Amino acid sequence: MTTYAFVFLIAFALALVTTPLVQRLGQRYGVLDLPSKRKVHERPIPRIGGVAIFLSVLVAIVPVFGLSNDLSRILWGNWKELLGILVGAFLMLTVGLVDDIVGLRAITKLASQVIAAVVAVGTGSVIEAINLPVIGQVHFGPLGPIVTVVWIVGLINAVNLIDGLDGLAAGLAAMACAVIAILAVTHKVPLMGIVALALLGSLLGFLPYNFNPASIFMGDSGSQFLGYVLATISVVTSQKTTAVVAIGLVGVVLGVPILDTVTSIVRRLRNGQGVFQADRGHFHHLLMDVGLSHKTAVLFIYLLTLGVTAIACSILFVRSEVALLAVVLAFVPLLLAWWLVGTIARGKDNDE
């Protein structure tokens, strides 16, 4: 447990120190997120915080290889798996950084996400099977890699979409990391426990600068990196537990961004817009439309996420065959909140 604490604390301390430095770099070189009608901030803010998060994670993990304990030996024994995660994560960071600086076409970003997902699959991160009620265990066989790529790409875009309010994406990702870390440590998947704790520490060190009023944004470099790492470590953890438990829990914790992604696609197709075209129809925008302040909207989503996560944690105490029902039940409060907030927001628009 000492090594786990070491990794967490190093990542936390590094993020606290490096985030202001990265912030100054963003200001110096003009890598800024400018205010616009669909954005809620009113002044230019540096948007390369993902660099600080990535560096904190990397520097916290590398020293573990030099230790003489069981965790170090496990890391050396699974170095290819870890390398695949880090290579894909670096690709997502780089592509996101280029997008933050000069802008990239949506198709280019999507192609890079698929490539990063294939890298993870190629190093062994594959969803192999899932337990379903009544049916039992279903093996994906040759479809496993495809299912995995869809999960990874989907989660990358879900985290990217939710990064619209100060501290929102970082806070939800931190909750997901905490869940994965607990799951990985208790189910003896130490490699993923270390990665999850390193990411959790870096996010908690980054949040003081990113929470409202934010002095730095994580940008696409941060959101794409986060989505990728969360997706891949949940896949690897699922290989040692079950897909419903690991991926189901992460899916519930990130239920808001996942539902936001699905509803955004449906809404834009219905309105004749491009799937990747930005708008102000996200859940956090609806919360502000009904009268919540910037900070209150973020805290509301935090509390909603904690509530549904508590429901979903019943997965850990039931048979795997019925675990999927716990995941489905956990989404019910999310759907009800979504419907209620949307109804109130539309009512206010009609009144105006």
What pLDDT, on a 0 to 100 scale, did the predictor assign at position 350?
56
Strand-pairing partners, residue 138, are: 130
> Which residues have a Cβ under 8 Å from the Cβ of 231 and sit 6 or more positions away?
117, 151, 152, 154, 155, 156, 250
Q: At CA 16, angle to CA 247 and CA 8, rounded to 5?
A: 45
What pLDDT, on a 0 to 100 scale, did the predictor assign at position 107?
92
Q: d(Cα 26, Cα 21) in Å, to the nearest integer?
A: 9
What pLDDT, on a 0 to 100 scale, did the predictor assign at position 97?
94
Q: Digits of tens for pLDDT over the chain (352 positions)?
A: 688 999 999 999 999 999 999 999 999 988 888 776 666 656 789 999 999 999 999 999 999 888 888 888 888 888 888 888 999 999 999 999 999 999 899 899 999 999 999 999 998 889 887 766 556 677 888 899 999 999 999 999 989 888 878 899 999 999 999 988 888 888 888 888 999 999 999 999 999 999 988 999 999 999 999 999 999 998 888 776 665 567 777 888 888 888 888 887 887 778 777 766 666 677 877 888 888 888 999 999 999 898 888 877 766 655 555 666 767 777 888 888 888 887 887 766 555 5
What pLDDT, on a 0 to 100 scale, did the predictor assign at position 22?
96
What pLDDT, on a 0 to 100 scale, did the predictor assign at position 56?
97
Question: Taking a C-beta distance cutoff of 8 angstroms, is the pair 175, 249 a contact?
Answer: no
Amino acid identity of residue 185, one-letter, is V
For the chain, how are helix, strand and coil distributed in percent, rounded to 5?
75, 5, 20
What pLDDT, on a 0 to 100 scale, did the predictor assign at position 174?
95
Helix (H) or strand (E) holding 138: strand 136-139
Pairing mode, strands 136-139 and 32-33:
unpaired
What pLDDT, on a 0 to 100 scale, did the predictor assign at position 49?
95
What burial letters (b/e) apply to 171-188, b meaning 16+ CB within 10 Å? bbbbbbbbbbbbbbbebe
pTM: 0.89
Torsion sign across C-alpha atoms 298, 300, 306, 312: negative
What pLDDT, on a 0 to 100 scale, did the predictor assign at position 41?
59
Q: d(Cα 258, Cα 335) in Å, to the nearest integer?
A: 12
Q: How many Cα neighbours within 13 Å face the side chain of 72? A: 11
Q: Which residue has the tokens 């969803």?
A: 127
Map out the domains of the chain as residue ranges.
2-351
